[in-house]
Amino acid sequence: MRSACLGWMALLLPLAAQELKLPASFDKLAEKASDVVDITMDSSMLQLASKFLSDKDPDEARIKKLVSGLKGLYVKSFEFDRRGEYEESDLESVRAQLRGPGWSRVVGVRSKRDGENVELFLKSDQGQVSGLAIIAAEPRELTIVNIVGPVNPEEIRDLAGHFGVPRMDLSFPNTRKSTKEEQQ
């Protein structure tokens, strides 16, 4: 589930208006975690990193184009040795921000059997998607992804696995081929 997808397109609000603020309790989670991934890339860092991607390789060229308009990419991921190292309450201040103006929860996947939960939130501005946040919570793993800047929803999966963004399978109904198309 440490896999992630992200998406949006359009006019941008100031970076500070979209970047999620993680609570101080996340510092305590980092102390408990066996592995921590902390990625903070503003637009200038994304542009610098994209210069290392090839224009000749189709996959890398697609990622390079995708990040060219981003204003920020933020990933915080914790892996724990034991279950129960974080509480749902640790996520409440993040979710509270995602209930703010312009944000909508568009995907929620919950598995009681595995204890895995994934939520995808989109921020819109004047009818255009302008931000994305993902909360992926497992019994021994917690990941928060926040992307600021324009990304076409069909390109969301392309960013997963790059720049520290985890992979996860979030299917968007309007981007999936119909069964008839898949069979051809």
pLDDT per position as a tens digit, 111-131: 888 889 999 999 888 888 888
pLDDT by residue (tens digit) across 54-110?
Answer: 889 888 888 888 888 889 989 999 999 999 999 988 999 999 999 999 999 998 998
**Residue % of the chain over a pLDDT of 70:** 72
Both tokens of 99, joined, read 């209930």
Q: How far apart are CA 137 and CA 15, in angstroms?
A: 25
Size of the chain in residues: 184
Q: How far apart are CA 145 and CA 141, in angstroms?
A: 13
Cα–Cα–Cα angle for 75, 108, 72, nearest 5°?
25
Instruction: Say if residue 175's pLDDT is above 50.
Output: no
| pTM for the predicted model, two decimal places | 0.74
Confidence of residue 151 (pLDDT cuts 50, 70, 90): low
Report H helices in 1-135: 15-18, 25-32, 43-50, 58-67, 89-98
